Amino acid sequence: MTQVTRLDPPAKQGPSEAEERIIIRGGKPLHGQVRVFGAKNAVLKMMAAALLAKGVTVLRNVPNLTDVHMMAEVLRHLGAKVEVGNDEVKIDATDLTEIEAPYELVSQLRASFVVLGPLLARCREAKVSLPGGCANGERRIDLHERGLELLGAEVGIDHGYVYASAKKLVGTRIYLDRPSNGATENIMLAAVLAEGQTIIENAAQDPEIVNLADCVNAMGGKITGAGTYQIVIDGVPLEEMHGAVVDTIPDRLEAGTFLYACMAAGGEVIIDGVNAHHIYAVISKIHEMGAECSIYAPDTIKIKSTGRLKPTDITTVPYPGFPTDLQAPLMAVLAVAEGTSIVTETIYENRFMQVGELRRMGADIQLKANSAIVKGVPKLMGAEVKSSDLRAAASLIIAGLGADGVTEVTGLSHLDRGYDRLEERLRALGADIWRR
């Protein structure tokens, strides 16, 4: 099997991966051009969708991430043949041998819970470990359960597993109490092979869901309305589904991370391969803070940041609002803005895991319920810090780029879940950053 070769410098030899760290000497402005890779949150869900068809599905523009390799292991466990390499994933799900996604796999990649819908549709039976909680908070499955039941499945939870079975699935109208990405995806994928038409109301509208629907349609499915509050799925027989070649959309969260990196460090950076339409909420806040951010073309953004930035308030809400995944990276920039900002988190109950570490660097941040009051200080100071989740890791690296002195970030297993060679790409822009 072909494996992607990492371009990072060799990790320091030691007794455990926990010793690996990223070291940043702050104060180096960023200059140059960087290209955004494919969206992790799109790739993982399209990999699950490949279970709906007999044949080979090829996903292109795939980043080399530990989450991608873990999802590949989940699919292999179910009987699919999976090859990862050369910016592609090839999945042949012609023969499935298992209906169970066990705890030891799902616990390592909670996004793998999305195999529940396509497994149920394809095999009429599925057993998937509960995703459980994580550093960001509990991952609820109530909407998943109710949606699948409305399609005709019997769904139960026992000993940490979700069991779903159905003699047949029949399309219906399903209203989601909240626009949950995971529930929208699982219900949509289950409905692809159901009899008749399914309508999901108050569906999540994220670009990754549009990419997922486009993938399914390329495989023979019939989905319309993705990207709106109402998604319509006309069921098709398994015999009409087939493999396809699908391009992954650019990662809007990675694009936001590079934008904030430039704001923290100062400088001028061109970001290629990004869909500017996907990050208008991010760009709007950048303008409010006083940085120059212009759209050259639908896939090119230029940012220029000089001097101290202005504060701004943000509230995380479902797309097209400000994304929860960019709350932590932006907080690192707000920590040195000239004034007070209020960051309100409405998606996850515990997504301020970066606050304690930012305080170690001199940030003045107070927590009150689901809000963080960020009083900007003139400069952050380099320190040893540890990331607790993916976006917190990005936040600490951004903070280190603009800080005085040396910052050492550990907990890199989180970073490698969602960013492909981030430190190498920042170094190409002029940052004094390396991994050892």
Cα 226 to its chain centre, rounded Å, is 18
HEC letters along the chain: CCCCCCCCCCCCCCCCHHHCCEEEECCCCEEEEEECCECHHHHHHHHHHHHHCCCEEEEECCCCCHHHHHHHHHHHHCCCEEEEECCEEEEECCCCCCCEECHHHHCCCHHHHHHHHHHHHHHCEEEEECCCEECCEECCCHHHHHHHHHCCCEEEEECCEEEEECCCCECCEEECCCCCHHHHHHHHHHHCCCECEEEEECCCCCHHHHHHHHHHHHCCCCEECECECEEEEECCCHHHCCCCEEECCECHHHHHHHHHHHHHHCEEEEEECCCHHHHHHHHHHHHHHCCEEEEEECCEEEEEECCCCCCCCEEECCCCCECHHHHHHHHHHHCCCCCEEEEECCCCCCCCCCHHHHHHCCCEEEEECCEEEEECCCCCECCEEECCCHHHHHHHHHHHHHCECEEEEECHHHHHHHCCCHHHHHHHCCCEEEEC
Task: Return d(Cα 356, Cα 366) in angstroms, integer.
Answer: 10
**φ and ψ at residue 194, rounded to 5 degrees:** -80, 160
Per the CB < 8 A criterion, the answer to whether 357 and 396 are in contact is yes
Place of tokens 């920039």: 333
Structure tokens at 324: 């929860």
Per the CB < 8 A criterion, the answer to whether 127 and 101 are in contact is yes
Distances (CA, A) of 241 to 45, 46, 94, 320, 354: 17, 14, 11, 31, 44
Task: Return d(Cα 266, Cα 398) in angstroms, integer.
Answer: 11
Closest to 163 in 3D by CA, of 129, 112, 115, 114:
129
Given the residues 123, 134, 215, 262, the one annotated as active site: 134
Let me know if 134 is a catalytic residue: yes
Q: Which residues are catalytic?
A: 134
